[in-house]
Amino acid sequence: MYATQFRFQKSAPIKWRLSWIGWLSIVALQICLIATSLRAEGIEAIHIDILLRDDASIVVEQVWETNADSGSEFYISLQNLKQMKLRDFWVIGRDGRPFTERSPWDLNASFQAKSGHYGIRSHDGATELCFGQGAYGPNRYTLHYRLENGVQSFPDRDGFNIRFVNDELTPAPQKIDLRIHLESGQLSPANSEVYAFGFNAPINFIDGELRSEIKHFDASSHVSILLG
């Protein structure tokens, strides 16, 4: 586990002010965004870009590099969203063409029927963001979604506690890159504080952003970010 200090300046649209009460409030959120792949195989790498917007929403873009030889779809399961609202979910394939939404998403549809399509499925209290594989072998998919009210406000600070990639994935991605940045302003050790858990790699300030390159990720690893 690596911990790096992270605190936004008070003047920013999203304010971050340090106190133990604030940290306890954020820890108590227990918000988890769980990325999983139980209905497919062969995720080689996931590149995650997290944009913290001035309106307190969080924009997540993930680029998946895959090499599947079975299954018909991939999906991300969002759990325990509470006050957050999912917006603007879409998928782009390897050839740069946007996928077409299919609503409702049919888990039991054929491989061909899922190809080139994405959709949202509710299951056991979770919201699943699904998309068809389209073809076996090397592939690349770009996923985008926005979490309205992703950053919560407290009397002394704003923040979130999110698990962006879960443990016990089958299979686990071989590599994960993580980038966190602001819509306005820059992150630095002087104004910022973050705690990262679940992976054995540093998270560093680079050019006004937070970045981490996780080269060894297995079934016991996860990517959890406590930020405030």
Higher pLDDT, 88 or 166: 88
Residues 33, 39, 41: CA angle, nearest 5 degrees = 100
- Alpha-carbon span 214 to 199, nearest angstrom: 7
Query: What pLDDT is stored for residue 157 in this prediction?
Result: 64
What are the strands of the beta sheet with 152-153, ordered from one edge?
A: 2-4, 194-197, 223-227, 158-165, 152-153
Instruction: Give the pTM.
Output: 0.84
Share of the chain above pLDDT 90, in %: 45
Tens-place pLDDT, residues 84-118: 899 999 999 999 999 999 999 999 999 999 999 99
User: Measuring CA to CA, which residue among 55, 12, 17, 60 is closest to residue 225?
Assistant: 60
Mean pLDDT over the full length of the chain = 81
Higher pLDDT, 225 or 132: 132
Query: Is the pLDDT at 1 greater than 90, yes or no?
Result: no
> In the numeric block, which tokens belong to residue 110?
């054929």
Query: What pLDDT is stored for residue 65 in this prediction?
Result: 94
At 24, give phi and psi (nearest 5°). Answer: -65, -35
Query: Is the pLDDT at 133 greater than 70, yes or no?
Result: yes
Query: What pLDDT is stored for residue 156 in this prediction?
Result: 64
Query: Is the pLDDT at 7 greater than 50, yes or no?
Result: no
The torsion region of residue 220 among left (phi > 0), alpha (psi -120 to 50) and beta comes to alpha
Cis amide leading into 13 (omega within 30): no
Max CA distance (Å), the chain: 53
User: Which whole number is the average pLDDT over 122-134?
Assistant: 92
Higher pLDDT, 38 or 161: 161
The CB density around residue 64, as the number of other CB atoms within 10 Å, is 22
- Alpha-carbon span 227 to 212, nearest angstrom: 15
Q: What's the CA dihedral at 132, 137, 138, 139 to 10 degrees?
A: -10
